[in-house]
Structure 1
Amino acid sequence: MALDPNKIALCWPNYIERATVSGGRWLATLPLEHVQDRRFSVVSKSRSLNLADTQYWITLPKRERIHALAMPAHNLSAFATVRARVYRDTAGTDLIYDSGWQNVWPVLYGLDDVVWGDDNFWNRRLSDDDRLNYTPLSTVLFSERLLGSSVHVELSDPGNQDGAVILGRVLITDIWQPRRNLDYNVRHGYDSGTEITRAGDAARTGYARRVTPKRTVSFDLNNLTEDEAFMRVHRLQRTQDVVGEILYLWSPVPSPTNFARAMVAHQTELNGITHPYHGNYQHAISLLEIL
């Protein structure tokens, strides 16, 4: 079934840790297997920008329901493209889906971010010198839910100033969208983490220990069916706990505002599922970004 553009999407579980990754050419000290490490700072780095070096295979131990590929913590430039092909078999001969070449970075500028005369006035695409101001996250959403055994990912970025592709993590996941979308009063924000120490002088001068803020979101799902409550939400709590990765998408449609809210996150608490009246279940979810 195609994804609904008017609903959130919660993407899990991440099959990458049970998969076998192979292909391409990666530094011996920063091998491809590092994308299976949950720490985004443990990276893989290609030997060059040649297309043969920057591609890789994900082979699953058995057929799984997969709907999305995501690559956070990458160094791909503003002009990079990605292609993902899904195969029914592990040998990569029975093709069931081809994403075609897609831009790694979606349009990130609004109409107020560009002025007449800017090089990107008409397409509003990200400029490479502004790329570091955004949290890197590339997503490829498949047109439907697939039952696949292997995925071939190709990355094309010949103009990358680093001279290589760096990947901090890969997610290959299923997607769930609730039958009825979340309620209003959604709360998107930041967990700052910055600490300010005050001096003992008259001005009480502040010295900040600044860190990167992490995005947060809290929302209520107040119209769940019994199946959604216990076959989806309850399972989410059991399998992901407060450490497991969840790819949160406000909408599967690429846009500047949707990208601003898209993140890989974990639950901050496991709230109970309530049953306020017949045929209705409710649950509150709070997520904190993983960097």
Structure 2
Amino acid sequence: MMPAYNVIICHPNRIDGAELSGGAWVESLPLPNMQDRAFARVARTIDLTALSTWFVVTFDRQRTIRAIAIIAHNITTGGRIRIRASDAADFSVVKYDETRDAWPSASADWNIDQLEWENDNYWLGSYSQEDAEGQTPISQRVLPDAVQARYWRVDIIDPANPAGFIDIGRVFIGDVFVNPHINYSYGGSLGYEDATTVQTALSGAEYFDPREPLRVARFQLAHLSHYEAFTQALELTRRAGIWREVLIILDPTDAEFGAVTCFIGRLRQLNPLEQVAWQTNSMAFEVKELR
């Protein structure tokens, strides 16, 4: 059983080897744009009707899937996402079927005393639209158990979206690769790096070329068993390298801050596996957000 609170790193992203179909998408912003690693190259629906805002991911065979994430989207805080899995192309028999909020909502332990009456999220107890802006939006779901299926259908339910369409920049669909039974050590960090350039005039006035800050997570898995060390941590560095995508979820149970502590990124460097005691190993991780 997967440890509930411990960090999760998912890999590989199987979206690129899949066939995408379904829904109704703008001709110049087609469905295959979800398979482009440039998040700005979005796929856009023609409208918000139920006939348009869905897609099917078809694999060449059954694939083991544990995590699905919709990335760089414009789904509002009132939107919902339905995920289904099947071995039948028409989904006549499903192996998984669940509908969830696209953003954490009243089901999370929001402190209502910290919300002002005028806030647009007062009655929902969820993220406000301002909270959702300024970082790459991600709606992720780690399934209770791994599901093996060839067909996966995703429906976006957001009929009141003021944009009049749904944008999706990237989709992650894959398995959990690293999930240690002992969580990362105290001292782990999550922060933002800002690549904004600053030029200073002779007068001392400063001019800026602003860039959006990117998240960076750093932590140490200091109590890895031999099995975890060699089949998860070390093997991830071999397979992912410093350029392939990983989906990191620092706390899968955190509904209140989960949109901040979950992002798609890459291993910034490949750290070595260290043996710290008999049958106990340690490895440091540094994951930088992709955009």
Q: 1:191 aligns with which of 173, 187, 193?
A: 193
CA distance in 1, matches of 2:244, 2:75: 25
Task: Work out the CA distance in 2 between the residues paired with 1:235 and 1:89.
Answer: 33
The correspondence of residues 40-189 of structure 1 with structure 2, limited to 5 A, is 40-90=39-89, 92-99=91-98, 101-107=99-105, 110-111=111-112, 113-116=114-117, 118=119, 120-128=121-129, 131-175=132-176, 176-189=178-191
Q: 1:91 to 1:51 in 2, by over 3 A?
A: closer
1:57: how far off? 0.4
Question: Which shifted more, 70-79 or 192-201?
Answer: 192-201
Aligned residues of 1:217 and 1:288 also touching (Cα < 8 A): yes
Work out the CA distance in 1 between the residues paired with 2:279 and 2:29: 52
Contact preservation (8 Å) 1:226, 1:279:
yes
Matched with 2:25 is 26
CA deviations 1:58-94 (Å, max 9, x no partner) are 0111212111110110011121110001113555343
In the alignment, the residues of structure 1 paired with residue 80 and residue 128 of structure 2 have an alpha-carbon distance, to the nearest angstrom, of 15
Q: Is the 8 A contact 2:119 2:128 kept in 1?
A: no
Secondary structure, counterpart of 2:212 in structure 1? coil
Distance apart, 1:116 and its partner CA? 4.1
Supply the distance in 2 between the matched residues of 1:267 and 1:118 (Cα, whole angstroms). 37
Instruction: Give the TM-score, by structure 1 length.
Output: 0.92
Amino acid at match of 2:174: T
- 1:200 maps to amino acid: L
CA displacement at 1:277 relative to structure 2: 2.7
Shift of 1:134: 4.5
Provide the C-alpha distance between the structure 2 equivalents of 1:117 and 1:37, rounded to a whole number of angstroms: 39
Rate the CA distance shift 1:275–1:90 in 2: closer, same or farther, 3 A.
Answer: farther
Indicate if the aligned counterparts of 1:49 and 1:165 stay in contact, CA closer than 8 A. yes
Where does residue 251 of structure 1 map in the other structure?
A: 251
CA distance in 1, matches of 2:131, 2:273: 42
- Distance in 2 (CA, whole Å) between partners of 1:117 and 1:233 is 47
Partners of 1:41 and 1:120 in 2: how far apart? 27
| Identity of matched residues, % | 27
Aligned AA (1:80):
G
Distance 2:85 2:139 in 1: 17
Q: Quote the Cα distance in structure 1 between the aligned partners of 2:62 and 2:51.
A: 26
- Report the CA distance between 1:123 and its aligned residue: 3.3
Cα RMSD for the two superposed structures: 1.9
For the 8 Å contact 1:110–1:256, the answer to whether it is kept is no
CA deviation map 1:101-129 (0-9, x unaligned): 21101149654641246454353223446
Give the Cα separation in 2 of the matches to 1:44 and 1:119. 28
What amino acid maps onto 2:255 in structure 1? S
CA distance in 2: counterparts of 1:63 and 1:278, whole angstroms: 39
Q: CA deviation at 1:130?
A: 5.3
Paired residues, what number? 287
- Asked whether the equivalents of residues 80 and 157 of structure 1 are also in contact (C-alpha less than 8 Å), the reply is yes
